Structure 1
Amino acid sequence: MPASRILGFFTGKSKSRPIWLNWRSSKEFIIATVSFGIFVDILLYSIVVPVLPFALVSRAKVTEDSVQGWISIMLAVYGAGLLVASPIFGYIADHTKYRRSPFLWGLILLAASTAMFLVGNSIPVLVVARLIQGMSGGCIWVVGLALVIDTVPANEQAQSMGFVSIGLTAGSSLGPLLGGVIYDKAGYTAVFILAFSVIGFDIIMRLLVIEKAAAKQWMPEPSVPDADGANLEDQKLEAKKANPQENIRDAMLKSRDAATVLRKESRVPAIFLLLKSPRTLNSLFITVMLGSIFTAFDAVLPLRVKYVFHFNSTAAGLIFLAIIIPTLVAPLCGKISDKYGPRWLVVTAFFVCLPLFILLRLPQRPVAGHIALLCALLFCIGFVISASMPGAMSEISISVVEFEKESPGIFGEKGAFAQAYALFNIAWSLGSVVGPLLGGFLNKAIGWNSMVLLFGFLCLLTSFVTIWYTGGKITKDDLPWSYVKPSDRVKPGDVALDALPGSSSSSGEEKTSTSKAGGNVESTRLESAVEPGSPEPVEIDSIRAVDAKTT
């Protein structure tokens, strides 16, 4: 096989149709690749957590008294790398033709940081390795989530994010367990042999990916029957409008094309413009809380089971399986969120956390019943977190669509989905820092019982705060006693954006007008339409449309 053919196979940049095109550009493969990429990123971030205290002493020659200080510095350095890289890579991804290249850059950074951890034997090298690791996380998360949004249909966003969240929770929970066990049994080098193994598999998956936008050049356009002799291009346009498999990015651009006025792209970066949206701020607040709750257990749970149940390090790590296993239901919860909207799923999840956290005060003795109770409670907490996470993640992209509909063209030609997920990444990372610090401080200052009680009331507060803007600003149709599914609030054939789960535009009231001509009563929507022979879209008032028919 010629070298150019091999290069084209992995890059997707060949004149001839790439091999396995349908599979490599399928939503299933792209979601699996992004989910595994995020799993690898979080796994390699957390796998060094139990190893660093020993590496700092044995390799970097740090004194025992200084270990805690340097670990805190490395935590801060990772956060700094992530905070700097997330908006930068988000901007780059939103202003390049394809997202595949920046997605690969993140993996290169991750491999470089892992190599530095392997060979590093001084503080400067280890600190720089942690900094680059933070930058790689900023790239992989931002570009990967935006790639998912570009790929999946608009009505499957939350379900897709459910699969991604499995990679997130599995990586963050398995990392410390694997790192501690492998380091204890096989040594420092073995930890990074595992790391490079998963990186190698990740590289292959990312090289095989062909984006939907790139695959279109080899895909035949869907055939449209021309039975009535109408213009074929008009029929194709109508077919695309009615396509339920259209992704949210294409739907947004189509809606923009139908707008009468387009604004120039704002000079203010989209990442700052989005902070003006209440819906975006609400979803970021939910993300911070989810990150805080999930990661707080990393700081306090191992010490708790060691003190109460006399668990060793392996048993303390295995207790996290009670939180990981429920994440498998995340795609199902995402599907429910896509169908009914995320509001009551998210609000109920945080509300249910209050009694669950209070009940965590009960396991107090090293007996089988108390151990089983703790595992059951952790399982339930993991379940409600998994139930709310897909909806919160999909809210990020939907808030971009709402902003774009209010100001068409403000985010430029490519939109701002990557920059929006840069905000998500920052919010999750902020929660990942606040959770362990707050949990550890409260556990030491006021004890386990008071700490879990406080976290429970924080969840209750979150449920009351987020009810207003989760799924868009609340309306009477969102109330439980008068609830109307988002999919039932619009008529078939409306623009796909209006049918998005929880979209505020989907809850608008229909404007109707009636005319009695021959005993017929007509009801129409105020909608955008294109008059025959007119190249530009025009706005047609529903009342005029009916009056024209009656005359």
Structure 2
Amino acid sequence: MSSSIRKPWGYRWRSSTFFILSCVALALFSENFLYSFIVPILPTILEDRLHIDPSKAQVNTSAVLSIHALVCFLSGLPIGSWADRNASRKGPLLLSLGGEIAGTIIVATATSLPVLFLGRIIQAIAGNAAWIIGFATVTDTVAAEHRSRAISVISVFFISGLLVGPMVSGIFMKLIGYWPTWLIAIAILVIDMIMRLGMIESPAGLKKDVDGSRSDSNPSDETSTLISRSRSSTGEFRQEETLQQNANTGLYSTETATESSNQNFYKVMLSNPQALTAMACHGVNALTLVSFDATLPLHVTRAFGWDTSRISLMFLLLQLPTMFLSPLTGWMKDRVGTNGPASIGFLATAFFLWILGTAGPDGLSFVGSREKGQAVYISSMLGLGIVRSLLTGCGVIEMTSVVTKLQETQPAIFGPNGGFSRAYSLTNMSWTFGMLIGPILAGSLNQTVGYYHMNICLAIICSICAILTFLYFHRK
């Protein structure tokens, strides 16, 4: 009977972990790619297409960029709840990509400011869904012992979109013009949609179940039935025993699994110190990253007289080491847990932030703004790029660990499809919240207390995160 069942064409590679992760990586890359892709094109859109007064260009530019983060923050929880009600990840992923394509077309063809904002809102909702469902797909696909490395690598693709987006649009806008440049963005989304249409979901847990059933199969149907019944009764006994232990220890309420899923998911997660630490650290990662966007260009121009090419080099120093080292640090997190790497990463980040602030006119006098100060600044940026690899994906990894442990202890606590999408919606909210307040906090501190003391404040925040990760992140 089983031999007569024909598998779909290309089943082996279409259901492979590599192909599924490639689809997710491209999807997450496209989310940040679209967020930043518009930056070099925005002056053309506002002044040439929408005929906005140049004096209002800065205000509208900030509004167009910030509305994306605001919508992501507001839409995270509803998207997570919707995704967890769907057993399949492929359909929601395709829907999110279709939304990204629609939003991109609206932005590119906008002839009024409200239409432009509408396109950005659609892009934000669809991209947010791609982020949440994408990480849930990674968790479904990759075995637990390899998840840290997979999440670290996927996170690199996600963050790299911020760097690649403006580079691509800025270069091609000059070379080939407005409409062909937008076609590049749409082409990336179309390629991702084709890949997702070909993707066949292959959950890691299902693979183990299938392998286990094959290895335990017995030619005697009668014997198999007895074994199955024995296992069923044993499983029920163990589940009852686990529930009783949880009730005795006060870990969970005695409500049914359905009630817990519908009513108590956020109560359970937001009262868990490990989950709260994961959210806080994920948000601080975003905050420190976007603080460079808000303050670095102006600071190095005033302090060192650098041009745009050297400013771009600083952002490359911040991104490239992370991209190359994250697979290695992800492997290390699989081996030793995230406790040590994250604690060291935040402490090192705090140290390099302080050193970064010492260079310049308002820093330490013996460092200054000349060759020595510039060398210190460049070295600090390189150091930050290296240690950021220790922090890549830590918030998502820890949130995955929380949900996994809870569902192992009480399997139906978050419903039949689990709670990973809702969990990732929480980390996504913390990330977008960091992106929202990062430029505001860094910019206001830079204006009121200066660049040096601004970096000290950010270093203190990172040091607090180092203490929290040491206390609450898991170790092996």
TM-score relative to the length of structure 2: 0.84
- TM-superposed CA distance for 1:337, in Å, is 1.3
1:323–1:381 Cα contact (<8 Å) kept: yes
2:214 pairs with one of 217, 222, 225: 222
Residues 394 and 236 (structure 1), Cα distance of their counterparts in 2 relative to 1, 3 Å cut? farther
1:162 pairs with one of 152, 168, 171: 152
* Helix, strand or coil at the partner of 2:393: helix
- TM-superposed CA distance for 1:283, in Å, is 0.5
Match of 1:264 in 2: 257
For 1:313, give the aligned amino acid: T
2:274–2:472 Cα contact (<8 Å) kept: yes
1:310–1:366 Cα contact (<8 Å) kept: no
* Unmatched segments (≥5 aa) in structure 1: 1-14, 240-251, 472-477, 479-485, 487-551
CA distance in 1, matches of 2:285, 2:311: 22
Match of 1:212 in 2: 202
User: What is the aligned-residue identity percentage?
Assistant: 26
CA distance in 2, matches of 1:253, 1:347: 40
1:448 aligns with 2:451: yes
1:81–1:132 Cα contact (<8 Å) kept: no
- TM-superposed CA distance for 1:253, in Å, is 12
1:31–1:163 Cα contact (<8 Å) kept: no
5 Å-filtered alignment, 1:11-50, equals: 16-50=6-40
2:331 pairs with one of 331, 335, 354: 335
Match of 2:248 in 1: none
Residues 326 and 20 (structure 1), Cα distance of their counterparts in 2 relative to 1, 3 Å cut? same
CA distance in 2, matches of 1:322, 1:258: 54
CA distance in 2, matches of 1:41, 1:237: 48
Match of 1:100 in 2: 90
Match of 2:99 in 1: 109
Q: Which structure is higher in RCO with an 8 Å CA cutoff and minimum separation 6?
A: 2
For 2:431, give the aligned amino acid: W
Question: Which protein is bigger by CA-based radius of gyration?
Answer: 1
1:89 aligns with 2:79: yes
For 2:315, give the aligned amino acid: F
1:179 aligns with 2:169: yes
Residues 371 and 460 (structure 1), Cα distance of their counterparts in 2 relative to 1, 3 Å cut? same
* Unmatched segments (≥5 aa) in structure 2: 245-254, 361-367
CA distance in 1, matches of 2:392, 2:147: 12
5 Å-filtered alignment, 1:151-550, equals: 151-213=141-203, 222-224=214-216, 231-232=223-224, 259=242, 263-266=256-259, 267-268=262-263, 270-327=265-322, 328-364=324-360, 371-405=374-408, 407-471=410-474, 486=476
For 1:379, give the aligned amino acid: L
Aligned-CA RMSD value = 3.3
1:177–1:318 Cα contact (<8 Å) kept: no
Match of 1:121 in 2: 111
1:98–1:213 Cα contact (<8 Å) kept: no
2:68–2:121 Cα contact (<8 Å) kept: yes
TM-score relative to the length of structure 1: 0.73
Deviation track 1:112-170 (CA, whole Å, cap 9, x = no partner) reads: 11101111121011010111111012200110000000011111111111111111221
CA distance in 2, matches of 1:337, 1:164: 14
Match of 2:364 in 1: none
* Higher normalized helix content (fraction of residues): 2
Deviation track 1:369-418 (CA, whole Å, cap 9, x = no partner) reads: 65554333222212222212233211111111333356552311111001
1:347–1:467 Cα contact (<8 Å) kept: yes
Deviation track 1:200-243 (CA, whole Å, cap 9, x = no partner) reads: 221122222111149969x785334769999557889999xxxx
Deviation track 1:421-444 (CA, whole Å, cap 9, x = no partner) reads: 011111111111122222222223
